[in-house]
Chain A
Amino acid sequence: MSTILKVDDLRVSFATEDGVVQAVSGVSFELKAGEVLAIVGESGSGKSVTAQTITGLTRAPNARITGSVAYRDRELNGLDDDQLRDVRGEQIAMVFQDPMTSLNPVYRVGDQISEMIRAHRDVSKHEAADRAIELLRSVGIPNPERRVRHYPHEFSGGMRQRVMIAMALALEPDVLIADEPTTALDVTVQAQILRLIDQLNRDRDLAVILITHDLGVVAEIADRVLVMYGGQIVENATLDEIFYDPQHPYTWGLLGSLMRLDQSRTTRLAQIPGQPPSLLNPPPGCRFAPRCPHVFDKCHELPALEARAGTSHLDRCWLDPEEKKSLRAQVIP
């Protein structure tokens, strides 16, 4: 599989009243064609800022962005809006958490999709309108001929999210970035949307970057997983590796604190003490050290993201791989 998107040492910081917030501190990864890459992390991990920076959405007077974001070998970081217009929508499309704020409430849904198509392609109004109907059909909206004339508020949350996905796919991009697409949806609707994204990935060879805090969602459709903490990637592995052979104590903590339906009810959950780090003054050295039960003297030095067990499974932890196995068993049942 060829690499379609390559992010190298991405750093994003924002100057605020309270100081400089180091939102993303050296993120590097690759996305292959047709791959579903999940970026997992909690609030403040930097996952959303990373995704938004890829499509140039974080550019602002108080933002400082360094590093490289290369789509098919073309550098995106530093491009202006005109130059990015070719990329956005056509190559890389984005879907956000709250469809109500992404859709214009005063325009019919069909018109919004048509307008977008006509801004990029030389087609007639009629052709664009037909395409809009087909797009709604392809994302599973029943009666698309009728629904295309409805306003966003006439759709339920799940249906609106489908409309967003339809809009994202209108120009047939290679990459879909979905930022917490199902977090605001009920679980039964979430299942429908994940199934849709999975189907689109398989049928169209669409690469997906899925940002989520929900490991269940990850298990459902991801091929590869990045775990982010404090603005950095702490683990980068395949789906099976993350769930069955996790190498970072933060990942263990996340897995251990899950309340799984298929396991017996334990009396006490494994909890990660403390809170996520301040991004104003990130701790020197390993950022998870203040909360890590296995911290030792080497941890005051920031570990590099490397394959320590000799495979393509990367982690950012000084612990000896052999030692990790027994430590891990204490956290994850």
Chain B
Amino acid sequence: MSKGDPLLEVTDLVKHFPIKTGVLIDHEVARVRAVDGVSLTLREGETLGLVGESGCGKSTLCRAILQLTQPTSGSVRFLGEELVGRSRRDLRPLRRQMQMVFQDPFASLNPRKRVGQIVGDPLELHGLARGTELKRRVQELLERVGLGPEHYNRYPHEFSGGQRQRIGIARALALHPKLIVADEPVSALDVSVQAQIINLLKELQDEFGLSYLFVAHDLGVVRHVSDRVAVMYLGKVVENSATEDLYRKPIHPYTNALLSAVPIPDPKRNAARERLVLQGDVPSPIDPPPGCSFHTRCPWATEVCTTDEPALLEHASAHAAACHHPRNVEEAASHGSR
């Protein structure tokens, strides 16, 4: 596999959570359509940013891709192999190649294990190292993420949030995976620490040839780290393009609104901007609106939007969006740069 080849191909992935009720026998009364038909591709060496607000399904999508939760339907091909429906035993060798970094640096590390054990467990579980060799490799990893070899024997509670996140990254790196799924890795950190961790993730990507699926709600962070970005709304991808194209010429109205909502830390430019402030709240994923799920909040919605669900189509080069009335299309088409 060389750089640019598809590493991860997700097709029509669905994850619904049934809501059951009943006295003797449970029957389903509704479902939470957390992930409602998602297709995307991540190429080798690439960072795909996944952006969306609470309830859009991005975290569930990550877990469904990694088979941490069993998809309801759909396909996930990783390194050419189908993951959905595989047994745990068959997934094991593939799991070495795909690892996760979690959002909460406090909840994602076992408080009763020492750091050396947390980072070393993956190596031991997969039979890759033992004893002094294991310790050496772990200390090397700790140093690579900016911690000291002396941290080997400490417990998670002795570290700050940023340091704990580094431990989580060291753990994810231990097996030299091809893919790291980072679910909001810097959201819980202070701004000055976020920059440190982002810089570290980028260096590691170059050094280890990693591919990232980077989930975040912070559009500034996503733009900084991603080659391509997919925007999610209510369980579906509504726009997918190269990073700069998304931020300069967003096609989907929701993307427009998201970008407009982010305040620019520059008072004069902020005040001079034309803002699009959405009305209302995100609908529930239990009962998504018919047709285009965004139509209830869209300033440009028409009749067709209430009845027909728009397909995710390519409106400009490598720039797809699911909308009956795509914005910025002429400009986006002519810019079509990768």
Contact = CB atoms under 8 A, between A and B. Distances in A.
A111 to B, nearest CB: 23
Contacts of A257: 191-192, 194-195
Nearest to A266: B224
B195 A261 contact: no
A79 interface: no
A123 interface: no
Contact of B162 (A156, A217, A243, A275): A275
Interface in B241-297: 243-244, 247, 257-270, 275, 277-278, 281-282
Contact of A187 (B219, B224, B268, B269): B219
B199 A276 contact: no
A218 B265 contact: yes
B223 interface: yes
Contact of A186 (B53, B264, B269): B53
A158 interface: yes
A276 B190 contact: yes
A260 B277 contact: no
Interface string A226-257: 00000000000001100100000000011101
A195 B194 CA distance: 27
Given A186-B53, A219-B264, A240-B267, A261 B247 contact: yes
Nearest to A239: B267
A157 B277 CA distance: 17
Nearest to B193: A275
Interface string B62-90: 00000000000000000000000000000
A213 B192 CA distance: 10
A267 B199 CA distance: 9
With most chain B CB atoms within 10 A of its CB, the pick from A157, A191, A259 is: A259
Given A42-B192, A188-B257, A192-B277, A271 B220 contact: no
B223 A261 contact: yes
B191 A42 contact: yes
Contacts of A271: 192, 195-196, 199
B224 A265 contact: yes
Contacts of B327: none
Contact of B265 (A158, A240, A258): A258
Contacts of B260: 191
A262 B269 contact: yes
A217 B277 CA distance: 15
Interface string B171-201: 0000000000000000000111111101100
Interface string A171-201: 0000000000000001111111011000000
A272 B192 contact: yes
Given A191-B275, A260-B264, A269 B270 contact: no
A157 B280 CA distance: 11
A20 interface: no
Contacts of A188: 53, 257-258, 261, 277-278
Given A188-B261, A191-B261, A275-B193, A260 B281 contact: no
B192 A261 contact: no
B54 to A, nearest CB: 6
Contacts of A260: 220, 264-266
B95 interface: no
A6 B277 CA distance: 35
Interface string B213-224: 000011111011
B337 interface: no
A78 to B, nearest CB: 33
Interface residues of B, number: 45
Given A43-B190, A186-B217, A216 B263 contact: yes
A220 interface: yes
Nearest to B281: A156
A249 B223 CA distance: 26
Contacts of B108: none
A208 interface: no
B266 A243 contact: yes
A189 B281 contact: yes
B153 interface: no
Contact of A158 (B198, B218, B219, B281): B281
Contacts of A159: 281
Contacts of B268: 240
Contacts of B53: 186-188
A262 B264 contact: yes
A219 B261 contact: no
B302 interface: no
Given A187-B262, A216-B262, A271-B196, A195 B270 contact: no
Given A215-B265, A216-B263, A254-B191, A261 B281 contact: no
B160 interface: yes
A259 B223 contact: yes
A261 B261 contact: no
Interface string A141-164: 000000000000000111100000
A177 to B, nearest CB: 20
Nearest to A242: B267
A243 B281 contact: no
A188 B233 CA distance: 13
Contacts of B192: 42, 253-254, 257, 271-272
Interface string A200-222: 00000000000001111111100
20 contacts: A42-B192, A43-B161, A43-B190, A187-B219, A187-B258, A187-B261, A188-B257, A191-B261, A240-B268, A243-B266, A254-B191, A255-B265, A257-B192, A257-B195, A260-B264, A260-B265, A265-B223, A269-B198, A272-B195, A276-B190
Question: Which 10 A-B residue pairings sit nearest by Cβ, starting from the closest?
Answer: A216-B263, A259-B220, A257-B195, A186-B53, A42-B190, A191-B261, A215-B265, A272-B192, A271-B195, A269-B195
Interface of A: 42-43, 156-159, 186-192, 194-195, 213-220, 239-240, 243, 253-255, 257-262, 265-273, 275-276
Interface of B: 53-54, 160-163, 190-196, 198-199, 202, 217-221, 223-224, 243-244, 247, 257-270, 275, 277-278, 281-282
